[in-house]
Amino acid sequence: MYGEFGFMSLVALFRKYSDQIPRRAVVADLGSGVGRPLFAAACLRPDIARCVGVEKLRGLHELAGELRALYDAELAPVLGAHPPRVELHRGDFLGGVEWRGADVVLVNSAIFRDELFDATEARAAEVLTPGALVVTLRRGFRDCGHEGACWELLEATERRQSWGMSTVYVHRRTRNSPRRTGIED
Ligand SMILES: C[S@@+](CC[C@H](N)C(=O)[O-])C[C@H]1O[C@@H](n2cnc3c(N)ncnc32)[C@H](O)[C@@H]1O
C-alpha cells in the first residue's frame, strides 16, 4: 500500500508548530515516496531552506525527480526570492546522513514494521539536535515521557491521511543523550 500524509494534516502541523520551526529550517521526509509532503512543506513555509527526501525505491525516487523539475520550473519561482530547495536522495534513511540536524522530520510510519520503527527512533535520537520535531503516524516513540528520555510527546491526534484517519504523533528531541546505540556512521 502506498499512502501519503494528508495535505490538511500537514497544514495543521505547520500551523500549530509555526513558532517552533525556525526560519531557514530543514524539513526531512524519511521514506519520501514521490515527494508530496516535501512540496507541500515548501508551499506552507516558503522560508524553509531545504526540504530533504530519502526514498529507497528507484521508481518512486525517479517520479519524485520529475515532480521536482516541475516544482523548480513553476512553483519555486513564485515562492519568493529564496524558495526552499527540494533535495531528493535515493537510499536507506537508516544508513544515510542527509537528514542529520533537520528541524522537522516527517515519518509516514503507518505500515512500518516494529523493527524499522524502533531503528528509526534510535537513529533520530542520534542525528537530531534538541528541539527538533519528529512526526510519526500510527505509533509514537518508546523513549518518551520519563526522566532522561530522548523525546517529549507534544501531541497524539487523529488526522486524515490519504487513506483515512491515522494518529499523528509529534515528538520533540530533548537534551538527553541516547541510551541505546544505533547505527554507526
Ligand atoms: C507510505 S510511503 C510515504 C511516502 C511519503 N512520505 C508521503 O507521506 O507521501 C512510505 C515510503 O517509505 C519508503 N521506505 C520504507 N523504508 C525505507 C527506508 N528504510 N529507507 C528509505 N525509504 C524507505 C517506502 O519505499 C515508501 O515509499
Structure confidence by residue, pLDDT tens digits, 108-155: 999 999 999 999 999 999 999 999 999 999 999 999 989 999 999 999
Q: What is the pTM of this model?
A: 0.96
The pLDDT of residue 58 is: 98
| pLDDT for residue 180 | 56
Please indicate whether residue 94, judged by its CB atom, sits closer than 6 Å to ligand 1. yes
Question: pLDDT at position 142, please?
Answer: 97
Is the pLDDT score of 96 beyond 70? yes
Query: Is 67's C-beta closer than 6 angstroms to any atom of ligand 1?
Result: no
- Spans of all domains in the chain: 7-173
CA atoms within 13 A on the CB side of 133: 20
Q: Each residue of 159-179: pLDDT tens digit? A: 999 999 999 999 999 999 997
Determine the Cα angle at 118 with ends 112 and 122, to 5°: 130
Q: Summarize pLDDT for 58-87 with one digit per residue, the tens.
A: 999 999 999 999 999 999 999 999 999 999
Nearest ligand 1 atom to alpha carbon 107: 6
| 163 C-beta closer than 6 A to ligand 1 | no
The percent of residues above 70 in pLDDT, for the chain, comes to 97
Q: Name the residue among 167, 143, 134 with its Cα closest to residue 21.
A: 134
User: Cβ(140) to ligand 1 under 6 A?
Assistant: no
pLDDT reading at 182 higher than 60: no
Q: What residue owns the CA closest to ligand 1's atom 12?
A: 31
Q: Are strands 104-107 and 26-30 parallel, antiparallel or unpaired?
A: parallel
* CATH classification (class only), 7-173: alpha beta
Q: Averaged over 48-54, what is the pLDDT?
A: 98
